[in-house]
Amino acid sequence: QVQLVESGGGLVQAGGSLRLSCAASGGTFSSTAMGWFRQAPGKEREFVASICWSGRNTYYPDSVKGRFAISRDNAKNTVYLQMNSLKPEDTGTYYCAADKNLGRNWAPFLMNDFGSWGQGTQVTVSS
């Protein structure tokens, strides 16, 4: 099972940008689709972005489409989330997740698709 460690969170003003990183170890990262989720206090965890194993296919919900971009570097076993034009409603703990299955050539988006999770990194957007 892959181990995941997120970094890059912090405090940013509305309209600003952050880049999150997720370093993977212990699994077959280059064959695994990856995703980002977030959870605000008192709310359920929600899908933010995902990318297939090759990086060719990505998927975003409407709430972040056009502002967030997921990418991966299989040589570095790392997946990234570039977040631009941040809004206060983007505040939350951001979690990196690895697909339960290997070799999926599309970008999964259901929580049940993912079997390994990181510990999360906090993102706070001030107004």
Strand ranges, E, within the chain: 3-7, 10-13, 18-25, 32-39, 46-51, 58-59, 68-73, 78-83, 92-102, 114-117, 121-126
Tens place of pLDDT per residue across the chain (127 aa): 899 999 999 999 999 999 999 999 988 999 999 999 999 999 999 999 999 999 999 999 999 999 999 999 999 999 999 999 999 999 999 999 999 999 989 999 999 999 999 999 999 999 9
- Amino acid 19: pLDDT: 98
Residue 53: CB atoms within 10 Å: 23
- Amino acid 26: pLDDT: 86
